Structure 1
């Protein structure tokens, strides 16, 4: 049906047979429409990002010069003190007055080069008398011969107080380098409250010291009293024998 757009009449229209079937109308082509033009940059709203504050490097505080000098001085003194403690033996040998200082801080030094070792004590009897036998050895650690000074033997109670003691001089006191001398000392009548033995050299001892006593097993026998001739009692003594007169 075909309708006229002007008069409104309608009629039937038929396909023209003269047109070959092979000639078909061209397929409808799809034509892409014009693309939208890009929006100008002026129409775009730009939002500014929040400003990040620039990090400034931290300001280094200058150390006062006095602090630097003080730290350096402490370091130097520490190194010097460590060297003195490490070589205190040589320091005390050159300056003997420093030996008591080292001993006071718990770092005793051996200025003599002699060592007392192997000390043993044993209670025993000599001629029926109680004694404390003390034995030990003196070793020379020097490279030269050294004479042993007197030794002080002391007995201490539980509080550390000396309750008995004696000053003795070792026999054959000159000791060759690396050699050892043995000693045996007897302390008569040791107090009952003695609990500790203290033995040390006494270089500053004044006056002659008693020689070391022999060991307990080599003690000399006690001297017996000299015999006394018996005499008769006086006649007037009540214990005198009565005499009988001859008649």
Structure 2
């Protein structure tokens, strides 16, 4: 005895719908890894307005800072190293330095181009950025990678 045709179509419909929902969930949840592996998929996510933050593959090391006077102007100099920790060449995004007050609230920031835009696996590059006349209330800073815009 065979299953009636409407019942079979109903089951197949639910099966297809379930597979589509699972695929959409995987594309959404795994979007960062997908874009890291297949960069050509980034415009697809951008077109849909879905934010993507692929693993960068680069990190900061040996951060330090010094304040100095240069021609009567206060300066904050932040230096360190950017290292590629991925097993593939990695793009290096801009460097973003955030200035924090005593309560760790950001009161200013500056964006700098990295010394190199690409690093090979295991490679590192030193960097040094200077902020002229940082706010008086700035007591500490953060360093992160910024947007390319």
**Which structure: greater helix fraction?**
2
Alpha-carbon separation, structure 2, partners of 1:193 and 1:131: 14
Match of 1:138 in 2: 82
TM-score, normalised via structure 1 length:
0.39
Contact 2:96 2:109 in 1 (8 A): yes
The answer to whether the aligner puts 1:192 opposite 2:136 as a matched pair is yes
TM-score, normalised via structure 2 length:
0.63
Alpha-carbon separation, structure 2, partners of 1:129 and 1:195: 17
**Which structure: greater strand fraction?**
2
State the Cα deviation string for residues 181-211 of structure 1 (Å, max 9, x = none): 1100111112221122111011x341xxxxx
CA deviation after TM superposition for structure 1 residue 146, in Å: 1.3
CA-atom RMSD in angstroms: 2.5
The answer to whether the aligner puts 1:179 opposite 2:123 as a matched pair is yes
Larger-Rg structure: 1
In the alignment of these two chains, the number of paired residues is 108
Point out where structure 1 has 5 or more consecutive residues left out of the alignment. 1-87, 101-109, 207-247
Contact 1:154 1:166 in 2 (8 A): yes
Match of 2:60 in 1: 116
Point out where structure 2 has 5 or more consecutive residues left out of the alignment. 1-28, 37-49
Secondary structure at the aligned position of 2:33 is classed as helix
Match of 1:148 in 2: 92
State the Cα deviation string for residues 144-179 of structure 1 (Å, max 9, x = none): 211201111110112332222111111222111101
Higher relative contact order (CA 8 A, sep 6+): 2
Equivalent position to 1:126, from 67, 70, 74: 70
The answer to whether the aligner puts 1:167 opposite 2:111 as a matched pair is yes
Match of 2:12 in 1: none
The answer to whether the aligner puts 1:94 opposite 2:34 as a matched pair is yes
Secondary structure at the aligned position of 2:122 is classed as coil
